[in-house]
Structure 1
């Protein structure tokens, strides 16, 4: 061991103590070097000769953390954010092939980002971009990345997106997330009220099938919105008083943390502005068919 701290560890008691501490997997090489007043490479050399590897060798504590298992088990809150990520999130591989997740919104919706941070139990910092008045955050988590992919959210989803795997009893939460990210609510008169969602065609067809079964609306044509890289972006829209059945379905059992404030307030405004149409629409379909 003359090349690896022979003088320091000539004492067998010191050597045995080093090996004993290393086998506990509680000490890093720098920590052991401080204990024995030697260099890190000396510790690594001795342990290498003794065929002992430190469990945390080469691993560093992440600066920003989150609940990596957030999307592994779907519940109402995680399902809502899955829908929101499907609409406004992005999965990509950064430097050193690290798997990253990013989301960005209008700066005025930064409060909603804070709800997402809280749900993820994350300390990540929210960034602001003045040029386009947006806000967002990015996290490095291979577990979240892989969980989202397994559920149907693909990397670079702007170019490829199919259906998403969500339990039937949680679909209202998922679609509400998609609506908050890529949907709109507009109109001044009852006949002009409109709810619309823009997205990849397979996903919109999946959403429309849920609306047909749960809200008693009819099948409508999807309107092409754009076409790029072999993928069609379409628009699903419903008009008139029937939108109240859709919105009632989407907002049922929602919470302040799992709905975008400005869209929910517009729904309440329509509901108060057209109370008769709201009641008639809901009475027409009191018992939606089960999936």
Structure 2
């Protein structure tokens, strides 16, 4: 919502805010949500007065990058980013004149920047300011690609995917990297009140059930039951042996991972 101290007069403070947000990668439409004005012309006029060149709009997202990154999941890096997209990625259907939007949005800037670099995107990672007290600062890496949207659909990364995600079956040597990506997106790592480590996964009913069964069959962890929280399902392990087996499986030969979760589980490695 607009800054409460700003009225509908375009002053230097508001213009400085517009310039900073635009340089951070936000669009004119996104900037308007935080200032007391209604038209994009206000944003563009402020940029022009300060000599800030305008971007080319959605066409920016079509600059050269690796659109075939997910045509075949044949490396640990591809498997990891696929796992993150299954949980925290999104696809927006194409409009009449453009291609589908594929994006990754997370509170962890390192993840958004890592995905940005993996694809070779040329426009900046977007900084998404919280819309209210219940929201968090987010970072978004986004592109437009019919090819990538088509490739990702095979793995359940589709528009409105929240309740239809599943665990793709890759070659055995890539499954730990895929599940680590899922863990970095919708996994949990924390300490109970008795300081015992806890590790788990949440998400759609099918995804959680399939990750749980994979870990039971491959690692021999305890057959813990799945819990419900509204439409979300989750499963957790707190027995030290289970946590250790899962952590060692996830991080063996790992090069891509969230530092904050790795740091918490490092004592198990």
SS, match of residue 243 in structure 1? helix
Contact 2:89–2:104 under 8 Å retained in 1: yes
Is 1:238 the counterpart of 2:242? The answer is: no
Match of 2:219 in 1: 215
In the TM superposition, what whole-angstrom CA distance separates every residue of 1:245-291 from its partner, at most 9, and x where no partner exists? 10000000101xx10111111111x43xxxxxx7xxxxxxxxxxxxx
Cα RMSD between the aligned structures? 2.1
Match of 2:63 in 1: 64
Is 1:81 the counterpart of 2:81? The answer is: yes
SS, match of residue 82 in structure 1? helix
Write out aligned runs for 1:180-259 (5 A).
Answer: 180-188=184-192, 192-227=196-231, 233-241=232-240, 242-255=242-255, 258-259=256-257
Write out aligned runs for 1:103-114 (5 A).
Answer: 103-106=104-107, 109-114=108-113
Contact 1:80–1:177 under 8 Å retained in 2: yes
Match of 2:115 in 1: 116
Change (3 A) 1:225 1:168: farther
Ranges in structure 1 where 5+ consecutive residues have no aligned partner: 1-59, 228-232, 272-277, 279-291
TM-score (norm 2): 0.70
In the TM superposition, what whole-angstrom CA distance separates every residue of 1:19-50 from its partner, at most 9, and x where no partner exists? xxxxxxxxxxxxxxxxxxxxxxxxxxxxxxxx
Change (3 A) 1:265 1:191: closer
Higher helix fraction: Structure 1 or Structure 2?
1
Separation of aligned partners in 1, 2:245 and 2:148: 34
Separation of aligned partners in 1, 2:192 and 2:206: 31
SS, match of residue 219 in structure 1? coil
SS, match of residue 106 in structure 2? strand
Ranges in structure 2 where 5+ consecutive residues have no aligned partner: 1-58, 131-135
Contact 2:110–2:258 under 8 Å retained in 1: no
Question: Matched residue pairs, number?
Answer: 203
Contact 1:98–1:142 under 8 Å retained in 2: yes
Contact 1:191–1:239 under 8 Å retained in 2: no
Larger gyration radius, structure 1 or structure 2: 1
